[in-house]
Amino acid sequence: MSSIKENIESFNQFGLSDEIIKAVKEIGYETPSPIQIKTIPVLVAGSDIIGQAQTGTGKTAAFALPILHNIDVGSRALQAIVLTPTRELAIQVAEAIHSYAKYLKNVRVLPVYGGQSIFQQVKHLRSGVQIIVGTPGRIMDHIRRETIQFSELKMVVLDEADEMLRMGFIDDVEWILSHTPKERQTALFSATMPKEVRRIAERHLQDAVNIEIERKTLTVPAIKQFYINVAESQKTDVLTKILEAESTDEVSVLVFQRTKMGCDKLVDKLKARGYSVEAMHGDMNQNQREAVIKQLKAGKVEIVVATDVAARGLDVDRIGIVINYDMPGDTESYVHRIGRTGRAGRTGKSILFVTPRQIRMKRD
Ligand code: AMP
């Protein structure tokens, strides 16, 4: 791997096509992020990779651009699959790939996940799709039904492998990998590296290049972080004051709540105070969640109150402020939460509510 350049400063230096570079620049990425500098040359060269990195580092583009570089647009056969732990992430990764492919002709990307009509998916698959982004369960379904064929598959990406492990999908992931051609290229991304994830890498990757993106590149400087000491009983009032002070015409606000019930309660209270606000949590079905994301993107909803699970992978440029109404369970979910703002090179702000009992937790 000595031929791989470390001193890359521009997207032009990766050897990607003009069409890909044009799309990336148009989206507003000026320079590649550290994970992109390390990953793109390895994947373009055809090697396997194990990347330890979290959301917010730019890892989607780090694997998406090489996928687009490597596929043969002259063929309609399936050439790359990306496995993700959740439907939300599948949709967002598929959208990202779609946006990077804007100037490439004849590239088709399909998100595939449970909860959506399988017949609809089969119809799309039959028409010829080169890239599939999906959750393991539904992809297994399609393999069994033989509605997905891997004969031309060149590349597999496992995104958030530790999350797939945590959600109990790791055997499914192995099963899928065992059905793919041996000659494929594999990229595994994971925020943490538990031994089960390492084992997958050992069994299914070949001569993989290891890369690690340090935690300090995580909290993007574009996000300004604040905290407020507040008594539990005063949280709603303080939240309303913040909402009054911030202009929600330009940006949307994402409020985190620990529980579904908490979400619904807060939504009711805010509605009563005249805000356009929606909840997003695990009790809502896919269509309901997608409707909320759509409204959020269109600026029709000012505030979304969400649980951690529902908001995972949420990538909406409009989100300018993240409010941690409830203290997150650990520092990792804090980083995930505030990473919902400051997207696509924009600036964001995060505010943490700290009750007297939580002052010690805040220091972490
Ligand atoms: P990800 O870690 O893939 O979820 O990406 C986090 C955010 O960073 C997304 O909103 C991307 O659109 C954005 N992003 C990715 N690469 C770059 C880049 N090179 N410059 C600026 N923003 C980027």
Please answer whether residues 109 and 180 qualify as being in contact, where contact means their C-beta atoms are separated by less than 8 angstroms. Answer: no
Which pLDDT does position 219 carry in this prediction?
43
Q: Give 227's pLDDT tier (boundaries 50, 70, 90).
A: confident
Task: Report pTM.
Answer: 0.65
Q: Looking at per-residue confidence, does 19 or 283 come out higher? A: 19
Which residues, at least 6 apart from 142, have a Cβ–Cβ distance to it below 8 Å?
112, 118, 121, 122, 125, 148
> 3-state DSSP call for residue 345?
helix
Cβ–ligand 1 contact at 55 (below 6 Å) = yes
Q: Which residues of 206-224 are buried (b: 16+ CB within 10 A; e: fewer)?
A: eebbebebeeebbbbeebe
Cβ–ligand 1 contact at 54 (below 6 Å) = no
Joined tokens for residue 301: 């909803």
Cβ–ligand 1 contact at 262 (below 6 Å) = no
Residues of the chain above pLDDT 90, percent: 55
> What mean pLDDT comes out for the span 95-111?
95
Please answer whether residues 2 and 26 qualify as being in contact, where contact means their C-beta atoms are separated by less than 8 angstroms. Answer: no
Mutation test of ligand 1: which of 29, 92, 220 has the most ligand atoms closer than 8 Å to its C-beta? 29
Which residues, at least 6 apart from 198, have a Cβ–Cβ distance to it below 8 Å?
none
pLDDT in tens, 4-56: 555 788 999 999 999 999 999 998 888 899 999 999 999 999 999 999 988 88
Residue 342 Cα, ligand 1 centroid: separation in angstroms? 9
Cβ–ligand 1 contact at 34 (below 6 Å) = no
Cβ–ligand 1 contact at 51 (below 6 Å) = no
Which pLDDT does position 327 carry in this prediction?
79
Residue 82 Cα, ligand 1 centroid: separation in angstroms? 17
> What mean pLDDT comes out for the span 264-293?
88
Cβ–ligand 1 contact at 320 (below 6 Å) = no
User: Would you tell me how many other CB atoms lie within 10 Å of the CB of residue 330?
Assistant: 11
Q: What SS3 string covers 166-228?
A: HCCCHHHHHHHHHCCCCCCEEEEEECCCCHHHHHHHHHHCCCCEEEECCHHHCCCCCEEEEEE
- Going from the C-alpha of 44 to that of each of 106, 115, 216, 220, 255, the distances in angstroms are 20, 34, 26, 26, 39
Which residues, at least 6 apart from 94, have a Cβ–Cβ distance to it below 8 Å?
109, 110, 111, 131, 133
pLDDT over 70 at 229, yes or no: yes
Which pLDDT does position 124 carry in this prediction?
93
User: Would you tell me how many other CB atoms lie within 10 Å of the CB of residue 288?
Assistant: 13
Which pLDDT does position 351 carry in this prediction?
85
Give the C-alpha separation, 44 to 71, whole Å: 11
> 3-state DSSP call for residue 36?
helix
**How many residues does this entry show for the chain?**
364
Instruction: Categorise residue 39: left if φ over 0, alpha if ψ from -120 to 50, beta otherwise.
Output: alpha
Cβ–ligand 1 contact at 60 (below 6 Å) = yes
Please answer whether residues 275 and 246 qualify as being in contact, where contact means their C-beta atoms are separated by less than 8 angstroms. Answer: no
Residue 33 Cα, ligand 1 centroid: separation in angstroms? 8
Give the C-alpha separation, 254 to 245, whole Å: 15
Which pLDDT does position 25 carry in this prediction?
93
Cβ–ligand 1 contact at 65 (below 6 Å) = no
Question: Measured from the CA of 27, which atom of ligand 1 is nearest?
Answer: 12
> What mean pLDDT comes out for the span 331-341?
76
Q: What is the chain's mean pLDDT, rounded?
A: 88
Question: Measured from the CA of 28, which atom of ligand 1 is nearest?
Answer: 21
Cβ–ligand 1 contact at 315 (below 6 Å) = yes
Q: Looking at per-residue confidence, does 346 or 164 come out higher? A: 164
Question: Which residue type does 173 have?
Answer: V
Which pLDDT does position 68 carry in this prediction?
98
pLDDT in tens, 151-170: 999 999 999 999 999 999 99
Cβ–ligand 1 contact at 59 (below 6 Å) = yes
Question: Phi/psi at 68 (nearest 5 deg)?
Answer: -65, -35
Closest to 358 measured CA to CA, from 324, 332, 335, 333: 324
> What mean pLDDT comes out for the span 89-118?
94
pLDDT over 90 at 336, yes or no: no
pLDDT over 70 at 189, yes or no: yes
Question: Measured from the CA of 33, which atom of ligand 1 is nearest?
Answer: 19
